[in-house]
A and B are shown apart, each in its own frame.
Chain A
Amino acid sequence: MSARRRKPGFPPDADPDSPKAAYRGGPDGEQTGGSSDYVGDDLANRPERTLWGDAWIRLRKNKLAIIGLVWILIVVTLTLSADFWVPQNFASPTSTDAGSLEAPSAVHPFGTDRIGRDVFSRVVYGARVSLAVGVLAVGISLVIGLLMGALSGYYGGLVDTLVMRTADIFFAFPYTLFAIALLAVLGPSYHNVFIAIGILGWPSVARVFRSSILSVKENEYVDAARAMGASDQRIIFRHIMPNAVAPIIVYGTMSIGGAIIAEAALSFLGMGVQPPTPSWGAMLSEAKALMVAAPWLTIWPGFAILTTVLAFVLMGDGLRDALDVKMKD
């Protein structure tokens, strides 16, 4: 969003903040300073534009991150458009018209499963479930985690203790086991999977955001805003949040990958998305018994999980470097 505010024609590497520009000195500085277009720009926009603009430039140079981004876009496009081309050219993911356990061929690129369903079609439609669960689960974690982290980091004291002790309790649970226990009570279903993963994810978000806020709130502009009589709400949302959000973007991107793996694992154990809805994890669970007769059943859904998760991890790594966020590995 903020990257779009960049003035067209402004040379990206003539950024006055970059050390390169400082070395170049004279001509560049003159050019930047002399451009009435640039000087006339709303000065309030300057720091924001350089942060996000720089980040995008750095991200573009990171080949692996771009590969990740492109792969994510491809998966999203294939998945969203699946209704228009998959059933027509291959088969609907739930149709059992094909022969049982056919090896991959032109008609069925990834073969067919035990009851004659087209595996390619199921892998493509499985991406819907995985992406939806990933995004929704991380969305839930972000909403709860940002709120808790903001309260805890901004107010400190008793609120901080309460929130962080609650987070400790959540951290004490082994992740998979807690998810299973939660789903055993809620009942296995598509909705409950992203709710469970989302609920389990908030403490990490809260921790990351809290420490980010703690460092941002020491800045003078926060004191200045308070001295001018700004309300807590205004300080949090207008001054602290925008500056503390970079680590959250990095963490959120990586978490989508984590949530996709978690969904696959839960569905693999039969606690997640239920048949006949195609889910990569559930497909692998069915494939387990047919490993010898039909290896393609094991290979393709797993490959789909691996590449999609890897894309989010690479993208997250790239964002971390681009936004210059320091995180524990």
Chain B
Amino acid sequence: MLKYVVRRIFQMIPVFLGVTLILFVLRIPGLLPGDPIQLIVGEKPLTPALRAQIEEKNHLNEPVHIQYAYYVSGIAQGDLGESYQKGRPVTDILFDKFPNTFRLALAGIIVEIVIGISAGIISAIRQYSFWDVLVTLSTSILVSVPVFWLGLLLQMFFGIRLKEWTGGAVFLPISGMGNPPDFVHLVLPAITLASVSTAYVARIMRSQMLEAMGQDYIRTAMAKGLTERAVVFKHALKNALIPVVTYIGIDLGVLMSGAILTETVFSWPGVGREIYLAVMQRDWPVVMGGVIVIVLIVMFINLLVDISYALLDPRIRYGGAAE
């Protein structure tokens, strides 16, 4: 087991170096359109003296491979540079925002588990029923809805119309986390963030459940005279859940990284919105630093998912290739 974990970690290193290489290439002046030094300076006029000063400070006058070495060793020491706008270390800014993003992602995962899994089960055990058609159709629609539009619609309906109709008595907040942070503020952003994944969870749950229900051991259980409830929940569900749980695990990483649209629509003070604001202000180190931290988190979560999968399934542990 330990061997597997070590091998997985060693596989991650070249991938991570590749990520840093791509982000580094994006910063090389002249390679791509857009001058990073101009980005650093922003709207201010760029004098040769200022340019030389910035090149000196950011090691831009060194040969490219030396620059890359500086860059990677900086990351290894947890130094992601300083924000141009705020003058604070990027790591500080990100660590302030991460708990909020994590909170939202967790709420999204709960939505996925509760709604996605139960919709999938109902759909599978009552195949071709009204509920099945409803679930199948709405999952197709949900994966085609742009999340930010769904967010806007939810704001419009639950935040504004509902408030008008009930004379301000019943409505859901549409912006920020509340002060102090409360659960009501989580509802709409969490639903928005989880919408697409919930649809996928329901689809996977449905197909896995249908497959499990067709197995011999289910027929045996039925033949023994067990109730449908016992067959579904004790026998079929346990086996059908494994791929779903894997998907949800990987999705935790995706939700933490993909929250940029949801966080922007709901003014949720998380990492995604911070990166978006940084892009708007051309605050380059915050953007790149944010991307690196998120890539690391996603890789770490995927590693945990793989390890737990290997714990459950010995074939992965000894077989080598996970494919």
Point out residues on A near B: beta carbons under 8 Å. Answer: 64, 165-166, 168-169, 172-178, 180-182, 184-187, 257, 261, 264-265, 268-271, 281, 284, 287-288, 291-292, 295, 298-299, 302, 305-306, 309-310, 313-314, 317, 329
Q: How far is the CB of B156 from chain A (nearest CB, A)?
A: 5
**Bound CA span A184–B286, Å:** 12
Contacts of B299 in A (CB 8 A): 172
**Bound CA span A262–B280, Å:** 18
B2-20 contact mask (Cβ, 8 Å, vs A): 1 or 0: 0000000000001110110
Q: How many pairs, one residue from A and one from B, have CB atoms within 8 Å of each other in the complex? A: 133
- Interchain CB contact under 8 A, A298 and B144: no
Q: Say yes or no for B124: interface residue by CB 8 A criterion.
A: no
Q: Say yes or no for B294: interface residue by CB 8 A criterion.
A: yes
Contacts of A302 in B (CB 8 A): 146, 149, 152-153
- Interchain CB contact under 8 A, B18 and A184: no
Contact of A291 among B155, B200, B254, B261 (CB under 8 A): B155
- Interchain CB contact under 8 A, B33 and A185: yes
Contacts of B254 in A (CB 8 A): 174
Extra 10 A-B pairs, beta carbons < 8 Å, given A175-B258, A180-B276, A180-B279: A64-B140, A172-B15, A173-B295, A185-B33, A185-B34, A291-B160, A295-B156, A306-B144, A310-B141, A313-B144
Chain B residue with minimal CB distance to A271?
B279
Contact of B18 among A169, A281, A292, A309 (CB under 8 A): A169
A185-B32, A185-B33, A269-B264 known; A168+B204 contact, CB < 8 A: no
Q: Is the interface of B mostly helix, strand, loop or mixed?
A: helix
Contact of B288 among A175, A181, A298, A306 (CB under 8 A): A181
Q: How far is the CB of B321 from chain A (nearest CB, A)?
A: 11
**Bound CA span A187–B26, Å:** 12
Q: Say yes or no for B282: interface residue by CB 8 A criterion.
A: yes
Q: Say yes or no for B209: interface residue by CB 8 A criterion.
A: no
- Interchain CB contact under 8 A, A177 and B260: yes
Point out residues on B near A: beta carbons under 8 Å. Answer: 14-16, 18-19, 22-23, 26, 32-34, 36, 39, 140-141, 143-149, 152-153, 155-156, 160, 200, 203-204, 207, 254, 257-258, 260-261, 264-265, 272, 275-276, 279-280, 282, 284, 287-288, 290-291, 294-295, 298-299
Contacts of A187 in B (CB 8 A): 33-34
- Interchain CB contact under 8 A, B282 and A184: yes
- Interchain CB contact under 8 A, B15 and A165: yes
Contact of A184 among B140, B143, B145, B279 (CB under 8 A): B279
**Bound CA span A294–B204, Å:** 39
Contacts of B291 in A (CB 8 A): 173-174, 177-178, 181
Q: How far is the CB of A108 from chain B (nearest CB, A)?
A: 20
- Interchain CB contact under 8 A, B145 and A306: yes
Q: How far is the CB of B151 from chain A (nearest CB, A)?
A: 10
Contact of A313 among B143, B257, B287 (CB under 8 A): B143
**Bound CA span A270–B204, Å:** 34
Contacts of A168 in B (CB 8 A): 15, 18
- Interchain CB contact under 8 A, A329 and B160: no
- Interchain CB contact under 8 A, B33 and A172: no
Q: How far is the CB of A172 from chain B (nearest CB, A)?
A: 5
Contact of A298 among B14, B22, B36, B152 (CB under 8 A): B152
**Bound CA span A200–B150, Å:** 24
Chain A residue with minimal CB distance to B150?
A302
Q: How far is the CB of B197 from chain A (nearest CB, A)?
A: 12
Q: How far is the CB of A90 from chain B (nearest CB, A)?
A: 23
Contacts of B18 in A (CB 8 A): 165-166, 168-169, 172
A264-B146, A306-B146 known; A184+B287 contact, CB < 8 A: yes
Q: How far is the CB of B169 from chain A (nearest CB, A)?
A: 18
Contacts of A268 in B (CB 8 A): 146, 148, 261
